[in-house]
A and B are shown apart, each in its own frame.
Chain A
Amino acid sequence: MSEIMTGPEVNLESWVDNIISKYPPKVAKKRRRHMVVREDGEAGCSQTIEANTRTVPGIITQRGCCYAGCKGVVIGPIGDMVHITHGPVGCGYYSWLTRRNMYKARDDKKNYMSYCFTTDMQDHDVIFGGEKKLAQAIREAAQIFKPAAISVHATCPVGLIGDDIHQVAKDMEKETGIPVMAFSCEGYKGVSQSAGHHIANNKLFTSAVGKVDEPQPEFTINILGEYNIGGDAWEIERVFEKCGIKVLSTFSGNMSYFEMEKAHNAKFNLVMCHRSINYLAEMMEKKYGIPWAKVNFIGPESMAKSMRKVAAFFNNDELTKRIEAVIEEEVENAKKGIEPYLKGLEGKRVMLFVGGSRAHHYQSVFRELGMEPVVAGYEFAHRDDYEGRHVIPTIKVDADSKNIEELKVEADPERYMPAIDEEYRKRLEEEGVLSNYDGMWADMGGGTLIIDDISHVELERLILDFRPDLICSGIKDKYVIEKFGVPSKQLHNYDYSGPYAGFKGAVNFARDIDMLINNPAWKLARAPWKDRSFLNASLNS
């Protein structure tokens, strides 16, 4: 469509220099550190990227706020709780059912996903304080819904006027007899939604996990950082159950408060979204001795690999056999399902700018589909999500991160019970199975480009200069990308489709990607009268 159509032969270093030169000098210097042209071999190992730093004001960013990370991402999906937004009406409204995390009510029939509950703060509350209104709102939530628990989420003005939401929560928990968790997740905290994840993790760990001891079967796991977008968690659960493995709690897609209280009774934690939930995994390991492994459920190969980590952990021949049998059967079915789409997808180039983990998770499934991820980046990840966890000790803690509390956790004297012995744990750690995440760029070799917290202008330059076949992003970029004639896949809400995880999900994904790329509208996008040769040819024939 455009004359600038160039392709992969564009020199990446000069492309980066060029885009940077368009910024004012100070901004240019800052943005340069968020872009890395990957190199192979040792040179690649010593590369670093800057991430999790403050967004430049006025640059149109994909990022959200602390409240979005806490209420919107981690706490919101818990379905039998009422989540109260303490603040003006907007924040609650805009986070109302917008993330497609699905929930099925348990036997108690409690499901409050479709509710948006807010104190709808007015001038009066900002001037005189909102504590009384909040207390009354909690009272009403308890009376109307009788939920399993209640959460309170602070928005910007709450911290500024000094409402003590934690005291209100404590008092109201006593009064109503329903657990009330308060989160100081004011939007201005931290640099993105990432701060909100951490705040949410801390509170879940101190106030919910560990409340109810209940012995569990030998092969019991938790899944952390899986939000059941489009039903992903259900497909993952289906596969594990088929293997004879019990999924006790999933943080926090399709999560019931009561399951969260028991989560520490599981033997093993699987971490899907490293960014949003690694804090909880680490704290649970320290306190209860539950080891964790990073997994990826997207695409048949990654799914199988993740299942083999579970097999390695439990180290039980019977279980391993069952897992292998399930893998064989499911992979075969998935391959059959995917096969018809491969021809239309082969060799297509993809860019991914999404989330704090998703831009990595989807790379392997694209490779399985014969496609090639060429440029990628996260919205709100930290350096370890790019470079791997080994860089954590070297990450500089800046003022923004310092304000988010790091909990001091010690082993529980009675309940610290690792399911495997220390020697085997060490071995698995050395093999990279446990407590390990190599980050996105382990999968992005020389000649690829990584851009952290991409801005709008950068995205537009990428489209014009590289003409990718597909860009994976979120709704905020989707229509910009498609205006340019490039298909766009939303990896936050799956364009209202899904599930994409697991074996069955992979088939859905292949189908949807094929549908996007091979949409007949792309062939019609250029009006025939704009193309003289086409006209002549038609007229002469």
Chain B
Amino acid sequence: MAENHVSTTNACKMCTPMGASLAFRGVKGSMPFIHGSQGCATYMRRYIISHFREPADIASSSLGEKHAVFGGAPNLKKGILNVTEKYNPEMIGIASTCLTETIGDDLKMITTEFLSEFADLDLPHLVTVSTPSYSGTHLNGWKLAVRSMIEKFAGSSPALTADNTINIFPNFLSPADIRLLSGIFREYGLKTMILPNISDTLDSPSWEEYINIPEGGTSVNEIALAHRSGASIEFGYFHKGESAGSYLEENFSVKNYNLLPPVGMRATDALLSAIEEITGLERPQRFVNERGRLIDALVDGHKYINFKKALVYGDEDFVVSMVSFLCETGVKPVIAASGGKADLRKRIEAICEGFCPCPLVLEDSDFDTIEIAAADIKPDLMIGNSKGFKISKKLGIPLIRAGFPIHDRFGGQRIITTGYEGALSLLDLIVNTAITTLQEETRVGYGYM
């Protein structure tokens, strides 16, 4: 893509149905289902599994040449029946693909037909999302799937009273981050409806008996009550029609707070302030202490990392939130790159304001372009997923792994970046990476830094 190439060399994004499948995984008793060629489900499963090291079933309608010509509806219906029979899911989340979008299969129509044809059966909820792989990235697919679930379920429950629940649309964070976030709300004594909640479904304990679908996730009943929640908090940037929070605000007057993913001091402050604004609650002492510890560590660590140049890459929301955190540490983000499109330059400029100069922003980019920029600017460290390893090795820049996919290191699902705690953990990594370089480069043999 460099120098105005039309080709993409080493993409920095995945396709839309991938994100949708991941988001559907965060609902209780849910089976993601890809309507297309069976290779899509197989490829995405192997990718998801190599990151999470967890089972990740995705069903497929296994379309063949005949269906590509005559339409995939019969296979989709058969597939839904078979999944229902064998897995007894509460929900099937169906995502389309480039194949089925090109031939014009209408998922909403097919599933409506299906439900009336088999009205006598006890069927799971069917949620559909249109995710043509040639449009957008995995992150768009994720957000569209969340929105489709809210559109489908919210308001469908007759519950009358609002309780102290807050809707959280966390975006693509690690299972450990989701656990950490829900802990923050628990500390305030609040209940949450986290959609999707992959904290257990994609990071489950070993089993003692047969489990059909991994336990955990937010139930359809909880989603159905989302319109009664006190407010919604969503993280990240949403294109038109992607935000579940906006949908609830427009249709059910649930106030929506659109925030940066809570990575770093300012973003976490903003999250806690939002919670306090919504509820009128006081800040728990625990967070006052945590924040204090983070400040303390930022002061202690600063001398090792100030002015270190960083390259950040990954999905668009990851990049913006990571840049926001780096600004606070004294590290100078010099390249911020994503394969997605999300008004990156403007947002990153705003975030850097008052802290550091705006880095080179590469939007709708690929690793080839990133490498050319990196060779020129020579960052001291890189933060992003495993796919940056090639550049890291070639240019000799240490890589701190975060985001998705991480398949050349262990424990990708357990990486925390959010809250004061996540910021501390990241800061330790960054400082120690800098110290390691310092230690290895010195000829004096420092053992006491």
Scan residues 111-139 of chain A and give those whose CB is less than 8 A from a CB of chain B: 114-123, 125-126, 133, 136-137
Q: How far is the CB of A271 from chain B (nearest CB, A)?
A: 25
On whether the beta carbons of B78 and A94 are closer than 8 Å, the reply is no
Whether A188 contacts B64 in the complex (CB less than 8 A), given A88-B98, A91-B43, A479-B49, comes out as yes
Interface membership of A338, Cβ < 8 A: no
Q: Which of A155-163, A412-420, A505-513 is the contact stretch?
A: A155-163
Q: How far is the CB of B369 from chain A (nearest CB, A)?
A: 12
Chain B residues, Cβ within 8 Å of A95 = 43
Q: How far is the CB of B241 from chain A (nearest CB, A)?
A: 15
On whether the beta carbons of B80 and A58 are closer than 8 Å, the reply is yes
Chain B residues, Cβ within 8 Å of A478 = 49
On whether the beta carbons of B8 and A60 are closer than 8 Å, the reply is no
Interface membership of A55, Cβ < 8 A: yes
Chain A residues, Cβ within 8 Å of B8 = 89, 92, 117-120
- Interchain CA distance A19-B102 in the complex, whole Å: 37
Q: How far is the CB of A158 from chain B (nearest CB, A)?
A: 9
Interface membership of A62, Cβ < 8 A: yes
Q: Which of B153-161, B206-214, B255-263, B441-449 is the contact stretch?
A: B206-214
Scan residues 467-513 of chain A and give those whose CB is less than 8 A from a CB of chain B: 474-476, 478-480, 482-485
State which size class the interface on A falls in: 35 or more
On whether the beta carbons of A476 and B10 are closer than 8 Å, the reply is no
Q: How far is the CB of A92 from chain B (nearest CB, A)?
A: 7
Interface string of B58-91 (1 = CB under 8 A from A): 1111111111100000011011111101100000
Q: How far is the CB of B155 from chain A (nearest CB, A)?
A: 30
- Interchain CA distance A58-B62 in the complex, whole Å: 8
- Interchain CA distance A188-B99 in the complex, whole Å: 8
On whether the beta carbons of B18 and A57 are closer than 8 Å, the reply is no
Interface membership of A403, Cβ < 8 A: yes
On whether the beta carbons of B134 and A88 are closer than 8 Å, the reply is yes
Whether A57 contacts B61 in the complex (CB less than 8 A), given A63-B42, A460-B210, comes out as yes
Scan residues 185-232 of chain A and give those whose CB is less than 8 A from a CB of chain B: 186-193
Q: Which of B30-38, B221-229, B243-251, B302-310 is the contact stretch?
A: B30-38
Q: How far is the CB of A83 from chain B (nearest CB, A)?
A: 12
On whether the beta carbons of B7 and A188 are closer than 8 Å, the reply is no
Q: How far is the CB of B178 from chain A (nearest CB, A)?
A: 19
Partner of B103, one of A140, A160, A485: A160
- Interchain CA distance A155-B37 in the complex, whole Å: 10
On whether the beta carbons of B57 and A456 are closer than 8 Å, the reply is yes
On whether the beta carbons of B98 and A156 are closer than 8 Å, the reply is yes
A125 nearest CB neighbor, chain B only: B134
Q: Which of A20-28, A241-249, A275-283, A295-303 is the contact stretch?
A: A20-28
Partner of B7, one of A91, A140, A157, A482: A140
Interface string of A51-83 (1 = CB under 8 A from B): 000111111111111111000000000000000
Interface membership of A141, Cβ < 8 A: yes
On whether the beta carbons of A156 and B68 are closer than 8 Å, the reply is yes
Interface membership of B106, Cβ < 8 A: no
On whether the beta carbons of A64 and B38 are closer than 8 Å, the reply is yes
Whether A188 contacts B65 in the complex (CB less than 8 A), given A65-B37, A141-B7, A160-B103, comes out as yes
Whether A483 contacts B39 in the complex (CB less than 8 A), given A56-B78, A57-B61, A157-B98, comes out as no
A457 nearest CB neighbor, chain B only: B86
Whether A476 contacts B15 in the complex (CB less than 8 A), given A137-B6, A159-B68, comes out as no
Interface membership of A173, Cβ < 8 A: no
Interface membership of A46, Cβ < 8 A: no
- Interchain CA distance A457-B85 in the complex, whole Å: 11
Q: How far is the CB of B45 from chain A (nearest CB, A)?
A: 5
- Interchain CA distance A250-B14 in the complex, whole Å: 32
Interface membership of B9, Cβ < 8 A: yes
On whether the beta carbons of B102 and A156 are closer than 8 Å, the reply is yes
On whether the beta carbons of B7 and A93 are closer than 8 Å, the reply is no
- Interchain CA distance A477-B86 in the complex, whole Å: 17
- Interchain CA distance A476-B209 in the complex, whole Å: 20
Chain B residues, Cβ within 8 Å of A120 = 7-8, 11
Q: How far is the CB of B273 from chain A (nearest CB, A)?
A: 38
Q: How far is the CB of A237 from chain B (nearest CB, A)?
A: 27
State which size class the interface on B falls in: 35 or more
Partner of A161, one of B76, B102, B135: B102
Partner of A59, one of B45, B49, B67, B82: B82
Interface string of A93-113 (1 = CB under 8 A from B): 111101000000000000000
Chain A residues, Cβ within 8 Å of B207 = 483-485
On whether the beta carbons of B62 and A479 are closer than 8 Å, the reply is no
On whether the beta carbons of B82 and A117 are closer than 8 Å, the reply is no
On whether the beta carbons of A61 and B38 are closer than 8 Å, the reply is yes
User: Which residue of B55, B83, B204, B390 has the most chain A CB atoms within 10 A of its CB atom?
Assistant: B55
Interface membership of A144, Cβ < 8 A: yes
Whether A483 contacts B55 in the complex (CB less than 8 A), given A55-B62, A63-B42, comes out as yes
Scan residues 313-335 of chain B and give those whose CB is less than 8 A from a CB of chain A: none
Interface membership of A539, Cβ < 8 A: no
B207 nearest CB neighbor, chain A only: A483
Interface membership of B13, Cβ < 8 A: yes
Chain A residues, Cβ within 8 Å of B83 = 58
Chain B residues, Cβ within 8 Å of A456 = 57
On whether the beta carbons of A157 and B99 are closer than 8 Å, the reply is yes
- Interchain CA distance A98-B80 in the complex, whole Å: 30
Interface membership of A84, Cβ < 8 A: yes
Chain B residues, Cβ within 8 Å of A526 = 208
On whether the beta carbons of A118 and B11 are closer than 8 Å, the reply is yes
Closest 7 CB pairs of A and B: A65-B39, A90-B15, A58-B79, A58-B82, A57-B79, A187-B37, A94-B43
Chain A interface residues toward B at CB < 8 A = 1-2, 22-24, 27, 54-68, 84, 87-96, 98, 114-123, 125-126, 133, 136-137, 140-141, 144, 155-157, 159-161, 186-193, 399-400, 403, 456-457, 460, 464, 474-476, 478-480, 482-485, 525-526, 530
A-B contacts, 14 listed (Cβ < 8 Å): A56-B82, A61-B42, A84-B7, A87-B133, A94-B14, A115-B10, A121-B134, A126-B102, A141-B7, A144-B5, A144-B9, A156-B36, A192-B38, A484-B210
* Besides the known contacts A95-B43, A160-B68, A188-B37, 13 further A-B residue pairs in the complex with CB atoms under 8 A apart: A54-B62, A57-B75, A60-B58, A61-B62, A63-B38, A87-B134, A89-B133, A93-B13, A98-B50, A123-B134, A141-B7, A186-B68, A188-B65
